[in-house]
Amino acid sequence: MSDPILQLTDLTKGYNAGKPNEVRVLQGASLAVKAGEVVGLVAPSGAGKSTLLHIAGLLDTPDAGQVAIAGTDMTRLSDRRRTGVRRGAVGFIYQFHHLLPEFTALENIVLPQLANGMSEAAAQTRAMALLDRVGIAARASHRPDALSGGEQQRVAFCRALANEPTLLLADEPTGNLDPETSDRVFDVLIGLVRDTGLAAVIATHNMALAARMDRQVRLNSGVLEAL
Ligand code: ADP
């Protein structure tokens, strides 16, 4: 059997160890996600969803435990190689779009491809195809402040997928939108994930959205349990 795309094993993470304000966030969290599988991560605010996703996405390191992507233990790689995997294999979507305000929608999707070694022409072609796929090709030359919240988030989805990652991590990707827009934008996200066969972990407070994923896990007292 092939390795899972993402394998988290016994992750622990805390802050301020040994001090009165010590916080233990992860206390042995484990999860395996296969290609094409979409996992909903549910937990109340403050339970550690962002911490878990940042560690899975190589934006942060655990105190102990392992993060493997496509069978390779990331905790053993040099910083430079880990950055390479993060840029190429992992797409990240935040609750707030975090687009670069001085660049257009198209440029925001082109830039990560250039950083990953793609030619400008190929990057532009791919960026346009992605914008078209999420229904906003006509907004390509708009800057983020000239886009609606739902449009900004669609651009952020395109940016996350720009380098054809094998793993998508999303932290409350529609949490900042009104309920109707959230549902529509969520449809777009799920459609994209299903088209590409990505492994995805999508954190949400919204149980109706979580129910549309293949399975759900809850972060409870620092460990992940099936729902
Ligand atoms: P969630 O995404 O589920 O809301 P987070 O992962 O952001 O939760 O945070 C989990 C816990 O860790 C919270 O109690 C938060 O206050 C704490 N925390 C997060 N980052 C830090 C930090 N840099 N220093 C101290 N505590 C932190």
What CATH number is attached to the domain comprising 203?
A: 3.40.50.300
Amino acid 139: pLDDT? 97
The pTM assigned to this predicted structure is 0.94
86 located within any domain: yes
Q: What is the mean pLDDT of residues 172-182?
A: 89
111 located within any domain: yes
174 located within any domain: yes
Altogether, the residues listed in the chain come to a count of 227
Counting the structural domains of the chain, the total is: 1
Q: What is the residue-wise DSSP string for 126-167?
A: HHHHHHHHTT-GGGTT--GGGS-HHHHHHHHHHHHHTT--SE
Which amino acids bring their CB within 6 angstroms of ligand 1? 15, 23, 25, 43, 45-51
pLDDT (tens digit per residue) in 81-114: 999 999 889 999 998 889 999 999 999 999 999 9
Question: Please, what's the b/e burial string for 97-108 (b: 16 or more CB within 10 A of its CB; e: otherwise)?
Answer: bebeeeebbbbb
Residue nearest to atom 16 of ligand 1 (CA): 46
Which ligand 1 atom sits nearest the alpha carbon of residue 171? 2
Q: 52 C-alpha vs ligand 1 centroid, how far in Å? A: 10
Q: What is the mean pLDDT of residues 175-201?
A: 90
Query: What span, in angstroms and rounded, lies between the C-alpha atoms of 28 and 221?
Result: 10
Residue nearest to atom 15 of ligand 1 (CA): 46
The residues pairing with 167 across neighbouring beta strands, listed in sequence order, are: 90, 199
Query: What span, in angstroms and rounded, lies between the C-alpha atoms of 224 and 149?
Result: 31
Q: 164 C-alpha vs ligand 1 centroid, how far in Å? A: 30
pLDDT of 1 strictly over 70: no
210 located within any domain: yes
Residues spanned by the domain of 190:
6-226
Q: Count Cβ atoms below 10 Å from residue 68 Cβ, excluding itself.
A: 18
Q: 14 C-alpha vs ligand 1 centroid, how far in Å? A: 9
216 located within any domain: yes
Q: 44 C-alpha vs ligand 1 centroid, how far in Å? A: 12
1 located within any domain: no
pLDDT of 197 strictly over 70: yes
Residue nearest to atom 18 of ligand 1 (CA): 15
CB 58 within 8 A of CB 86: yes
Residue nearest to atom 5 of ligand 1 (CA): 48
Q: 48 C-alpha vs ligand 1 centroid, how far in Å? A: 6
Amino acid 17: pLDDT? 87
Question: Closest by alpha carbon to 162, among 124, 135, 195?
Answer: 124
Q: 23 C-alpha vs ligand 1 centroid, how far in Å? A: 8
Q: What is the mean pLDDT of residues 132-143?
A: 96
pLDDT (tens digit per residue) in 27-73: 999 999 999 999 999 988 899 999 999 999 999 999 999 999 999 99
50 located within any domain: yes
Query: What span, in angstroms and rounded, lies between the C-alpha atoms of 28 and 13?
Result: 9
Q: 118 C-alpha vs ligand 1 centroid, how far in Å? A: 35
The residue to mutate among 23, 24, 172, 221, having the most atoms of ligand 1 within 8 angstroms of its beta carbon, is 23
